[in-house]
Amino acid sequence: MSAGSRSAVGRRGLVLTAALLALTGSCISGGETTADRGVSPSGTATRTEVTMPEPFGPLAGLTWPAGSVPENVLLHDDGRRLWAVPMEGHPELLWEHPPAGVYQIEAGPGGRQLAYSVMLPAKRAKDPSYVLYLLDDDGSVKIVDVVHDWLSIESPIFLRPPTELDGPVRLYWIRGSQEVSPQMGRLENQVMVLGDQGPMPVQVPLRYEEVPFDIHGYPGSWMFTLALFRTSDVPTRLEILLDLDFGQAATDASLTLWGDLGGAVNTDIFTGVAWVSPLEWVVPVAHEFFPEDFSLRLFRFGCDYLGSHVVHQGTGIDWGYPETPWPLLPAGPDRVLVLRTADVRKVASGKTDTAPWWTVDVYTGRMTRTDALWSPPGRYLGWWTFVQPESDVPPPTTSPDCSDLTWTYP
């Protein structure tokens, strides 16, 4: 598949017919109901007096081994088992569950809670197509959201609302749509947040043909990036924005309104943004017609007016084609995890089943092979994330030191 075709498909390439057929035997019951989950300032869920939904989908009614997830490791769920995968050494089995179309997973601060987006075998528009589970810190598995009409559940993430710096950490996600709004010329995606009374829509004022596509941030932090998908790919398919609502410049911003989005970076890479700390993030930047100019770029809050620091440049890092999708992930405060182009090509051609994850030092660019092995989504899909420790870094009140690195545009 060409670079151009992957831009139009993006992460939607994960919705595989084979996976749907494999899941036909999974349990499907109940209706579209939601769970009310508050989250305490410590980053763990609070108990609220709300009627919980009936058991629904392949993970409903289960328990999971809360407290067993270590920090600073990869997590991989292959659709049947959850693994802790260290950079050195062997994977550790944490949890076995019934077969499920695990589309995406995300870890909360310290791995105390997990979010699972699970694809369901919908055959008609009225059938449930995705369900979002919260694997709670008490070992229970709660249903957060269920969607129909071929909608998907994208980009679950645990963040502190930027307008509630002393408030609880909350679960955000995007309801993804294949429908295009005739009024705004864009996909009818909707950002959601788990409020005190259940899921709530988040307003994101944007321009014509722009729509929220991905949310990334340090778990439990108050600052994050929002990737926009453009119906037109001029100049690129994606635009990465930084939410600055913690500064309260947008006085109407709230839990359900993001008002101060800036710091645009254009890219055609769909592997996402990796936040290595609450104040530093790495973006893969490239244009589909100029693949040789691919670069990983480190941004630092307060230094972004100078541009970014080039971590890596060239064609050695894979772009994350839809048939071999993978997420750019943090690997601690000074490294990110990537896949090499040559390794992924071997998997795509059938020469091997796995490819090693590599770390890239965000300050020096040094690449190091790890013992962790990536494999593409299989019969039950499967996805990866990284467990980062909780952070209590407050919004900065002074300018950072930008003299330690070389900064260039963008």
pLDDT per position as a tens digit, 207-222: 999 999 999 999 999 9
Flag the least confident range among 9-13, 52-56, 127-131, 277-281: 9-13
pLDDT at 264: 84
Domain ranges of the chain: 3-50+57-386
- How do residues 168-191 score in pLDDT, each as one tens digit? 999 999 999 999 999 999 999 999
Average pLDDT, the chain: 88
- How do residues 315-328 score in pLDDT, each as one tens digit? 999 999 888 999 99
- How do residues 104-124 score in pLDDT, each as one tens digit? 999 999 999 999 999 999 999
Distance CA 216, CA 230 (A): 18
Residue appearing with tokens 């750019």: 328
pLDDT at 249: 80
Average of per-residue pLDDT across 325-341 = 98
Of the candidates 135, 84, 99, the one whose C-alpha atom is nearest the C-alpha of residue 114 is 135
Of the candidates 271, 287, 198, 279, the one whose C-alpha atom is nearest the C-alpha of residue 242 is 279
Distance CA 149, CA 315 (A): 39
Distance CA 80, CA 399 (A): 47
The answer to whether the beta carbons of residues 337 and 327 sit under 8 Å apart is: no
Per-residue confidence band for 54, with pLDDT thresholds at 50, 70 and 90? low
**β-strands 190-195, 170-176: how paired?**
antiparallel
pLDDT at 55: 62
pLDDT at 321: 87
The CATH number of the structural domain formed by 3-50+57-386 is 2.120.10.30
Distances from the Cα of 156 to the Cα of 101, 125, 194, 291, 300, angstroms? 15, 23, 11, 29, 23
DSSP string, 214-253: EEEE-TT-S-EEEEEEESS-SS-SEEEEEE-GGG--STT-
